[in-house]
A and B are shown apart, each in its own frame.
Chain A
Amino acid sequence: MPSRTVIPFGPQHPVFPEPLQLTLTVEDEKVVDAVPGLGYVHRGLEKGAELNDYIKNIYLAERVCGICSFMHSWTYCSCIEELLNIEVPPRAEYLRMIFAELSRVHSHLLWLGLYADAFGLESLFMQCWRIRERCLDMQEAGGGGRVILSTCTIGGMRRNLDEDMRRAFIKEVAEIRRDFERLVPVFLNDYSIKKRTVGVGVLSKEDAQSLGAVGPTLRASGVRSDARMLGYGPYKEVDFEPVVEEGGDCYARGVVRVKEVLQALDLITQALERLPEGEIKANFRGRLKGEVFKRMEQPRGEMLYYVKASRNKNLDRFRIRTPTFANIPPLLKMLPGCDLSDVPVITLSIDPCISCNER
């Protein structure tokens, strides 16, 4: 009769930069049950948004998460734009897409680095983060901040991209691609990475769908679903095809993210080349009324915003369903049956963003 032990994993753990707690029940070395303990990063942001007026909420929405902060401000602004019937100038939409894809590149590079660190390849972690610094430099040049840009505003963008900057961006993207392509074979073919990830934490296609997985976790299980296929913003005009892998294991989730980095770099180049001329900000007035659901694709998956207002300056209800929130049930499905030493890799493979998750 194997003995059962309960191991608390986290909240302070060297693998995660963020506090996630998993209470693991293990039989010898096999995990049999996992229960998440949340709330270490819960700030009550949804309530805070009801206390502010709707223009101040842009800054609050950006601080849902520091990694994908631009996506949050874009989604929030487009919710408000839909309620106020604002026509956003095409140049602003393209600029938004450029920064959104840039933050996807830097988020995936960040994740690939942490992922490499989880199985001990520290030099690969350093390489990924070195390339990522180039994206941050681009964000700083074009947006004004390294991590939190505050450049997206209701009706458009706050800062324009001049012609010199546009050319510099195209060149820089090509260089990031060149640097990153040298790392791609490592992630795809390296023996030790494959040894740690192939067949670990398998999530079947049926489970992924029924447990509500989103983003790369869903696409790695062979489901062709990406909120960018909805065609919001300029995504309907650019060449876009979601990356799908069949394996459903940690390796497949890594491959999806590697390919998405290359795809996002491609999308940035397309957008920079087609960048239309014109205004970057529309004027607006009026009061908010009604309710709106909006979905967008974050680096970690599909995100849903719900905004309800009734002619007040304040919102009646502001709700965010973030991708990590949807990916935790699949994680709990993946963990039972795995080795204790694989828990960090599997947990990281859903790209947990706890500050999104708990808001």
Chain B
Amino acid sequence: MWDKRCRLVTVTCVDLIDSLELTYSFDHNLELVHLRVKAEKDRPFPSISGIYYAAFLVENEIQDQFGLRFDNLHPDYQGFMLLSRDAPRTPMLRQVEERGRNEDAV
């Protein structure tokens, strides 16, 4: 992607309960190209911030919100970029009771 001079648009993280789904979106001449990867929740995931410096913000955000650790992330806020020390941890992960309520609504 870097060689083709694609611009990193964003990384989207979705919680699939048993794992996390990361979608890397790139822009190439106004066309979106998506790469989809599955990541395990408790294992560190390789960071792309060494290649795309711009990725450090979004990877830090995912680290804050989903608790997924990234390897070689620079600058690394240790999961406290958006959240402060006294805020709830990993707020975007799906809680079991919330899932139950969603299914009732169907």
Q: Which A residues fall within an 8 A CB radius of B? A: 35, 38-39, 42, 44, 46-47, 51, 209-212, 225, 227, 229-230, 293, 295, 302, 304, 306, 308, 311-314, 316-317, 319, 321, 325-326, 328-330, 333, 358
Contacts and interface: CB of A to CB of B under 8 A. Distances in A.
Interface in B19-33: 23, 25, 27, 30, 32
Contacts of B82: 38-39, 42, 358
A329 B9 contact: no
B30 A39 contact: no
A304 B10 contact: yes
B39 interface: no
Given A227-B30, A317-B14, 14 more contacts: A39-B80, A47-B91, A210-B7, A210-B54, A212-B7, A212-B9, A212-B54, A306-B23, A308-B14, A312-B102, A314-B105, A319-B10, A319-B12, A321-B58
Contacts of A311: 106
With a 10 A CB-CB cut-off, give which of A308, A313, A317 has the most chain B CB atoms. A317
A317 B93 CA distance: 11
B68 to A, nearest CB: 15
Interface residues of B, number: 36
Contacts of B84: 39
Contacts of A316: 14
B10 A209 contact: no
Contacts of B14: 308, 316-317
Nearest to B8: A212
Contact of B32 (A46, A293, A308, A333): A293
Contacts of A35: 75
Nearest to A322: B10
A127 B15 CA distance: 49
Given A209-B5, A304-B10, A316-B14, A44 B56 contact: no
B24 to A, nearest CB: 12
Nearest to A206: B5
A314 B105 CA distance: 9
Given A38-B82, A47-B91, A293-B32, A211 B54 contact: yes
A121 to B, nearest CB: 32
A156 to B, nearest CB: 26
B58 A325 contact: yes
B9 A328 contact: no
A326 B23 CA distance: 16
Nearest to B14: A317
A314 B94 CA distance: 13
A72 to B, nearest CB: 16
B92 to A, nearest CB: 6
24 contacts: A38-B82, A39-B82, A42-B83, A212-B8, A212-B52, A212-B54, A225-B30, A227-B30, A293-B32, A302-B9, A304-B25, A306-B12, A311-B106, A312-B102, A312-B105, A312-B106, A314-B102, A314-B105, A317-B12, A319-B12, A321-B10, A321-B12, A321-B58, A333-B53
A211 B54 CA distance: 5
A333 B75 CA distance: 14
A293 B33 CA distance: 11
Contacts of B13: 319
A167 B58 CA distance: 46
A323 to B, nearest CB: 11
B38 interface: no
Contacts of B91: 44, 47
Contact of B56 (A46, A229, A329): A329
